[in-house]
DNA sequence: CCATTTAATGAATCGTTAG
DNA sequence: TCTAACGATTCATTAAATG
């Protein structure tokens, strides 16, 4: 039996994070309140104050993350008064100064972006997914996110229904437990750093702008079953829900009791699974790093 | 008759630019040598020196650009030793300090990106197309780059479900485009700030990494016939060739005589066209700005 | 002459070897 | 202990070759 914990913590993550153990998290994936957005829920941080506001939090994130762990930050600067703000650029520079490595910038191409029309710009159809690490030797399971090779897009147009069924099946039995290497050799290719995902429109109470596939992709890429995922700005809990479904321990923090309640109803605090053939507690390649950092 | 000039200037653009008139350019679109790239052709600028190297050039660009003109900068930071360099971020901040407005960041999604496999990252499939302006009132002809809605819908069909399709229709009917000319009303939609283009594989002598569609798109978007386009790092001249074909005046600068020769063979210095029905010298909406700035 | 296969080639990045 | 140079890896596209 393996035991998966899902912890939901109420409070300001700057404070709550201090209660977490050092080097205990394998993956942080979060979408913090953008500057001046979500004023009614979060404070609504002024762009000029954004870096200053974020650094104390990221300092705690740096502490709780394992040396071979990864921090994925979903963010996009707003346009205001005809210009893009620069606080995200400044944040990247500041995080590096704080000790983070800026490893990569993935692009999330939002296929169905927010509608609108302006005389001076087009609709914004992409967001940044910034990857930060503590060390250069981080865990990365690239095979887990391999995609059907080449012109799968063309094929899908021709046989739309067929392929969609296949894709659905792949989703449901999402690859774990089976020995993948057999059937994916020349059928699949590694993805790039551009992710094409549609936002999910939730007509429910709280809109989940974050599509489930996004945390799912990064959780597959950077963690194994039994690892621990953290989202310090949980919101409606997409990351936490997906993590639990994928048999990862997870910790979600939010300042609003409302969100804690919502996610509580979508998850269970403890779950048990039968151990599969290949033990989940695999030898960690980079264990040595933990002591260094 | 209208007369279109195509000037090719040999030399270091930092010096050559000084010979150009102030406020004489409608669109600058260029792809400068990236840091540490093209060592054999250009010098190969060190990442640490990149901003310092670029600023004197961009100062001249700021001078020659019209107040209602636009500057499109194609660039991407390299990854080295496990980390992305930050010189592009620093360049954006420095350009703003120099007086430029950072209006937008388009994403060029390179469908056929460079191959390769590494333990710590995927292939890099995107580049930045940074838009800078002198003033907030710049020319932008959005209707010129509208895309057939069919393609758009097709593209979306690939990844979206029924609910999303319905939402699409709601979007399309949502108001804009009434004053636009008749033939594009329900056939076309505005694009977003993500461009999907493949690099052109030139097996010829000199590779044009820049696909023709890229300058074409921006020339349509930011200029009219008879306007002037500048590329201070001309290279094999994709921008210049496209500009001439689109009946725009153009100025190309390059430090290598070789490139000047190549582009000379692909263009003619002066071309004449019959004036079409709707005069090309349309009233400029933002003419007033010229005086202000 | 068209449909299909094969070959060549990049604005890449990392690890290793040489100076 | 550095930096510089080279090989290995990889895939979408185009050109050339094949049937």
- Structural domains counted in chain B: 2
Whether any strand C atom is under 7 angstroms from the Cβ of B126: the reply reads no
Which of B163, B189, B215 lies at the terminal end of a domain, its last residue?
B189
Do the chains contact at A109 and B109, CB–CB below 8 Å?
Answer: yes
Q: Residues of B from 130 to 189 whose C-beta is within 7 A of strand C: which are they? A: none
Whether any strand D atom is under 7 angstroms from the Cβ of B116: the reply reads yes
Residue B85: burial class (beta carbons within 10 Å; 0-12, 13-18, 19+)? buried
Considering the domain architecture, whether residues B169 and B285 belong to the same structural domain is answered as no
pLDDT (tens place) for every residue of chain B, 293 residues total: 899 999 999 999 999 999 999 999 999 999 998 887 765 566 678 899 999 999 999 999 999 999 999 999 999 999 999 999 999 999 999 999 999 999 999 999 998 899 999 999 999 999 999 999 999 999 999 999 998 775 444 443 333 322 222 222 223 322 233 333 334 445 788 999 999 988 775 544 455 678 999 999 999 999 999 999 999 999 999 999 999 999 999 999 999 998 999 999 999 999 999 876 554 444 333 322 222 22
* Range A11-34 average pLDDT: 96
Nucleotide nearest to B116 (CA to C1'): D10
Considering the domain architecture, whether residues B134 and B42 belong to the same structural domain is answered as yes
Considering the domain architecture, whether residues B129 and B54 belong to the same structural domain is answered as yes
pLDDT, one tens digit per residue, over A169-212 is 233 223 332 333 333 345 789 999 999 988 876 544 445 578 99
pLDDT, one tens digit per residue, over A41-90 is 666 789 999 999 999 999 999 999 999 999 999 999 999 999 999 999 99
C chain positions with any atom within 7 Å of a protein CB: 8-15
In whole angstroms, give the CA distance from residue A200 to residue B264: 51
Which of A133, A165, A189 lies at the terminal end of a domain, its last residue?
A189
Report whether A83 contacts B102 (CB < 8 A): yes
**From the CA of B127, how many Å to the nearest CA of chain A?**
10
pLDDT at residue A109 in the model: 95
Contacts of B87 in chain A (CB under 8 A): none
pLDDT at residue A4 in the model: 97
Do the chains contact at A201 and B163, CB–CB below 8 Å?
Answer: yes
Question: For residue A200, what are the contacts with CB-CB under 8 A and spacing of at least 6?
Answer: A208, A209, A210, A211, A212
Whether any strand C atom is under 7 angstroms from the Cβ of B78: the reply reads yes
Considering the domain architecture, whether residues A84 and A132 belong to the same structural domain is answered as yes
Tell me the two tokens of residue B143. Answer: 């209707």
User: Residue for token digits 């040999």?
Assistant: B10
Best probe of the B interface among A76, A90, A100, A102, by most B CBs < 10 A, is A102
Minimal-distance CA residue of chain A relative to B132: A83
Do the chains contact at A82 and B103, CB–CB below 8 Å?
Answer: yes
pLDDT at residue B201 in the model: 59
Establish if A81 touches chain B: CB-CB under 8 angstroms: yes
Start-end of H helices in A3-49: 13-16
E-assigned strand segments in chain A: 2-10, 25-30, 65-75, 79-80, 83-84, 101-110, 126-133, 147-148, 188-189, 194-197, 228-231, 249-254, 270-273
pLDDT at residue A44 in the model: 77
* Range A3-19 average pLDDT: 98
pLDDT at residue A43 in the model: 65
Considering the domain architecture, whether residues A153 and A277 belong to the same structural domain is answered as no
* Structural domain span for residue A173: 148-189
Whether any strand D atom is under 7 angstroms from the Cβ of A166: the reply reads no
Which of A157, A189, A221 lies at the terminal end of a domain, its last residue?
A189
Considering the domain architecture, whether residues A91 and A75 belong to the same structural domain is answered as yes
pLDDT at residue A267 in the model: 97
Q: What is the pTM of this model?
A: 0.85
In whole angstroms, give the CA distance from residue B14 to residue B53: 10
Confirm whether B50 is domain-assigned: yes
Contacts of B132 in chain A (CB under 8 A): none
Confirm whether A166 is domain-assigned: yes
pLDDT, one tens digit per residue, over A253-265 is 999 999 999 999 9
Considering the domain architecture, whether residues B55 and B125 belong to the same structural domain is answered as yes
pLDDT, one tens digit per residue, over A105-128 is 999 999 888 889 999 999 999 999
Considering the domain architecture, whether residues B173 and B220 belong to the same structural domain is answered as no
Nucleotide nearest to B42 (CA to C1'): C11
For chain A positions 194-223, those within 8 Å of chain B (CB to CB) are 194, 196-198, 201
Contacts of B168 in chain A (CB under 8 A): 112
In whole angstroms, give the CA distance from residue B262 to residue A198: 44
Handedness of CA B239, B240, B246, B247 (dihedral sign): positive
pLDDT at residue A269 in the model: 96
Considering the domain architecture, whether residues B15 and B89 belong to the same structural domain is answered as yes
Concatenating the DSSP letter of every residue in B118-153 gives -SS--B--EEEEEEEESSS-----GGGG-EEHHHHH
């Amino acid at each position: 039996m393996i035991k998966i914990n899902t912890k939901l913590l109420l409070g300001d993550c700057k404070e709550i994070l201090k209660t977490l153990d050092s080097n205990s998290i394998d993956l942080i994936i979060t979408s913090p309140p953008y500057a001046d957005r979500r004023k009614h829920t979060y404070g609504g941080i002024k762009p000029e104050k954004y870096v200053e506001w974020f650094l104390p939090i990221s300092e705690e994130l740096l502490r709780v993350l394992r040396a071979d762990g990864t921090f994925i930050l979903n963010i996009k600067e707003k346009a205001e008064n005809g210009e893009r703000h620069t606080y995200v650029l400044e944040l990247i520079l500041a995080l590096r100064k704080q000790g983070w490595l800026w490893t990569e910038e993935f692009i999330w191409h939002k296929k169905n972006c927010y509608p609108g029309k302006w005389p001076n710009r087009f609709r914004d159809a992409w967001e940044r997914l910034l990857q930060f690490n503590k060390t250069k030797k981080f865990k990365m399971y690239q095979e887990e996110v391999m995609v059907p090779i080449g012109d799968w897009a063309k094929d899908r147009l021709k046989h739309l229904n067929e392929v969609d069924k296949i894709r659905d099946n792949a989703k449901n039995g999402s690859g774990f437990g089976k020995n993948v290497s057999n059937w994916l050799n020349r059928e699949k290719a590694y993805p790039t750093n551009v992710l094409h995902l549609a936002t999910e429109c939730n007509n429910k109470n709280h809109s989940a702008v974050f599509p489930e596939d996004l945390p799912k992709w990064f959780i597959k890429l950077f963690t194994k079953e039994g690892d621990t995922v953290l989202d310090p700005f949980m919101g409606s809990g997409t990351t936490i829900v997906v993590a639990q479904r994928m048999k990862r321990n997870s910790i979600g923090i939010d300042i609003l009791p409302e969100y804690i309640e919502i996610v509580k109803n979508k998850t269970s605090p403890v779950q048990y699974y039968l151990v599969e053939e290949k033990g989940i507690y695999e030898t960690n390649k980079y264990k040595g790093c933990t002591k260094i950092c």
